[in-house]
Amino acid sequence: MSRESDFYLRRLHSLLGIIPVGLFVTQHLVVNHFATRGEEAFNNASNFMGNLPFVLFLEWFIIYIPLMFHAFYGVYIAFTAKNNVQRYGTFRNWMFLLQRVTGVFLVIFIAWHLYETRIQKALGTEVDFDMMANILDNPFMLVFYILGVLSATFHLANGLWSFCVTWGIAQSPRSQTIVSYITIIAFLALSVIGVQAIFAFV
Amino acid sequence: MSEQTTAVKEATAKKTVRFEIQRQDTPDSNPYWESFEIDYRPNMNVISALMEIRRNPVNAEGKKTTPVNWDMNCLEEVCGACSMVINGRPRQSCTALVDQLTQPIRLEPMRTFPVVRDLVVDREFMFDSLKRVKAWIPIDGTYDLGEGPRMPERKRQWAYELSKCMTCGVCLEACPNVNDKTNFIGPALISQVRLFNSHPTGAMNRDERLETIMADGGIGECGNSQNCVVACPKGIPLTTSIAAMNRATTVQMFKNFFGSDHMVD
Ligand code: HEM
Ligand code: SF4
Ligand code: FES
């Protein structure tokens, strides 16, 4: 492949991963956490989000378009790497591999999740606490959703690290190590928030 | 047992070194493995073993074969020519001591580059990339340009570390993003741009060099696996260089778009 625009596309891919997709994912996990306060709290929050003014515009420009660009270009990036963790089993090389594995898994997870929720809503089904509880009643789906949430939190947290390097924010080995610790904490915090919300439905 | 008989015993129970070498007769033919067993000598390195095989090209089955081809030059880890994959890791064969390697010692060419024959690869891609990123300092003019600005001593000492790169290709072989599906020029080249851009005279063309790595196959291809810095035999801080050039290209990108027509500073 040879394109002069590669550099700018890569930077756009990196930026969109954080703004807006990363911010949306964080917001989504936080709002889901209302489920831990009971059915009514979750339904209120979900109705509030689902009935924001200009919701279709917001969905397309904050979520679908940036996410699709990031996801499809991400698949291209993922499949052009020749992973070699057997040769170099370092922490960073594993993170490099996992960033790609979680990314590819997220394409599958997000597609399924959108089909089960947003597309069903467009077809007239009520999206609420009961619907999620029904989905997560199936042990296979429960595991699938937990893996999906953990993949997203990992991919976002590790992506935050590589974002800091890609834009030249963290340069010295020391600053890169400190950013690693910060993103590990972000991964743990977001994972707890996300998984707690899932268990609130079961 | 007297000392003499021990010495004789040691001499007769000959120690040997076993090699498994991936060979390839022509650039397009299929690679195949061949084993060799040669007499051990103290302080042997991979090159002296290869010389032994060249002297007597007989494989482990006792069959006569063609001598194994490899590349070498300085024999002191400064030219990079002898780089190959030794026991799974790319490194220089002139500094690979047999005593420190587990046997059988497996030798393979660095397949990131086109194989010429056996262990010889063609690193032309890197030399072309050096030209592409303008890895030199222009000092010629139609008249005497005089002396350039002085380089601060501390900066010179630091830049010396970056200048140790011998274009060996080990960091490209280690990088998951340098392969036949991408055209990434590789970590070493990004670090060279940093080197020449930090030279006081070289800095006069810094924007031109940055443009070269903001193009196809440039710094955007880096995915931060950070294998390069682990692999580099010269201890060059490649990932710091990449991050520094990431910052410089970020600034350059905004300058190109929002800036004026004044590009150099
Ligand atoms: C849950 C939604 C997603 C979020 C929040 C997200 C976020 C991010 C972030 C912040 C980065 C770091 C960018 C950088 O290196 O500077 C990143 C990188 C990456 N993402 Fe995503 N991403 C998401 C979905 C996906 C999907 C579906 C794929 C598809 C495979 C994907 C593939 C990649 C790849 C391959 C990279 C590494 C890019 C590189 O290092 O060059 N991501 N992502
Ligand atoms: S940076 Fe190090 S590993 Fe890469 S080519 Fe130069 S000397 Fe070899
Ligand atoms: S012969 Fe020059 S580095 Fe080995």
**Residue B261 predicted with pLDDT over 80:** no
Rg (CA), chain A: 18
The structural domains of chain B, ordered by start, are 2-121 (3.10.20.30), 124-258 (1.10.1060.10)
Phi then psi for residue B141, to 5 deg, are: -145, 180
Nearest ligand 3 atom to the CA of B77 is 3
Instruction: Report residue B232 as tokens.
Output: 């580099």
Q: Give pLDDT tens digits for B59-117.
A: 999 999 999 999 999 999 999 999 999 999 999 999 999 999 999 999 999 999 999 99
Phi then psi for residue B222, to 5 deg, are: -70, 130
Whole-prediction pTM: 0.93
Alpha-carbon distances of B134 from A60, A142, B50, B175, B190, rounded to whole Å: 43, 55, 37, 22, 11
**Residue B263 predicted with pLDDT over 80:** no
Q: What is the pLDDT of residue A107?
A: 98
Tokens 């081809």 belong to which residue?
B69
Contact B246 A166 (CB under 8 A): yes
Residues B80 and B72: their CA atoms lie apart, in Å, by 8
Q: What percent of chain B has pLDDT over 70?
A: 94
**Residue B188 predicted with pLDDT over 80:** yes
Residue of A29, A155, A26, A159 lying closest to A103 (CA atoms)? A155
Residues A87 and B88: their CA atoms lie apart, in Å, by 7
**Residue B195 predicted with pLDDT over 50:** yes
Tell me the ligand closest to A28's alpha carbon. Answer: 1
pLDDT range class, residue B145, cuts 50, 70, 90: confident
Alpha-carbon distances of B264 from A7, A85, B211, B214, B259, rounded to whole Å: 21, 41, 12, 16, 11
User: What DSSP designation does B223 have?
Assistant: -
Contact A166 B177 (CB under 8 A): no
**Residue A101 predicted with pLDDT over 50:** yes
Ligand 2 interacting residues, C-beta cut-off 6 A:
B 80, 165-171, 187-188, 191, 231-232, 234, 236, 238
pLDDT range class, residue A1, cuts 50, 70, 90: very low
Instruction: Report residue A134 as tokens.
Output: 């029904």
**Residue B2 predicted with pLDDT over 60:** no
Q: Are B104 and B20 a contacting pair, CB within 8 Å?
A: yes
Residue A14 contacts B where some CB pair is shorter than 8 Å: no
Q: Where are the beta strands (DSSP E) in chain B?
A: 16-23, 32-39, 83-86, 89-92, 105-108, 115-117, 120-121
From chain A, the residues in CB contact with B250 under 8 A are: 11, 167-168
Q: Give pLDDT tens digits for B108-137.
A: 999 999 999 999 999 999 999 999 999 999
Q: Give pLDDT tens digits for A109-162.
A: 999 999 999 999 999 999 999 999 999 999 999 999 999 999 999 999 999 999
pLDDT range class, residue B144, cuts 50, 70, 90: confident
Give Cβ neighbours of residue A148 (< 8 Å, ≥ 6 apart).
A105, A106, A109, A110, A113
Residues A45 and A29: their CA atoms lie apart, in Å, by 12
A3-201 placed in CATH 3.40.50.300: no
> What mean pLDDT comes out for the span A168-182?
98
Q: What is the pLDDT of residue B14?
A: 78
Of B174, B182, B239, Cβ closest to residue A80: B182
Q: Are A147 and A101 a contacting pair, CB within 8 Å?
A: no
> What mean pLDDT comes out for the span A81-87?
96
Q: Look up the ipTM and state it.
A: 0.94
Provide DSSP, chain A: ---TTHHHHHHHHHHHIIIIIIHHHHHHHHHHGGGGG-HHHHHHHHHHHHT-TTHHHHIIIIIIHHHHHHHHHHHHHHHT----TTT---HHHHHHHHHHHHHHHHHHHHHHHHIIIIIHHHTT---SHHHHHHHHHSHHHHHHHHHHHHHHHHHHHHHHHHHHHHTTS--SHHHHHHHHHHHHHHHHHHHHHHHHHHHHT-
Q: State if residue B80 touches ligand 3 by the CB under 6 angstroms criterion.
A: yes
Q: What is the pLDDT of residue A169?
A: 98
Q: What is the pLDDT of residue B6?
A: 60
> What mean pLDDT comes out for the span A87-93?
97
Give strand pairing partners of B34: B21
Q: What does the angle CA B245 – CA B247 – CA B252 come to, to the nearest 5 degrees?
A: 90
Residues A183 and A176: their CA atoms lie apart, in Å, by 10
Alpha-carbon distances of B15 from A135, B9, B40, B96, rounded to whole Å: 68, 11, 5, 19
> What mean pLDDT comes out for the span A69-84?
97
pLDDT range class, residue B7, cuts 50, 70, 90: low
Residues B12 and A28: their CA atoms lie apart, in Å, by 75
Ramachandran region, residue B4 (left: φ > 0; alpha: ψ -120 to 50; beta: rest):
alpha
**Residue B9 predicted with pLDDT over 70:** no
**Residue A186 predicted with pLDDT over 50:** yes
**Sign of the C-alpha dihedral computed for residues A118, A124, A125 and A127 taken in this order:** positive
Q: Give pLDDT tens digits for A11-68.
A: 999 999 999 999 999 999 999 999 999 999 999 999 999 999 999 999 999 999 999 9
Q: What percent of chain B has pLDDT over 90?
A: 86
Residues A53 and A41: their CA atoms lie apart, in Å, by 20
Average pLDDT, chain B: 93
Mutate which of A2, A5, A7 to test chain B, going by most B C-beta atoms within 10 A? A7
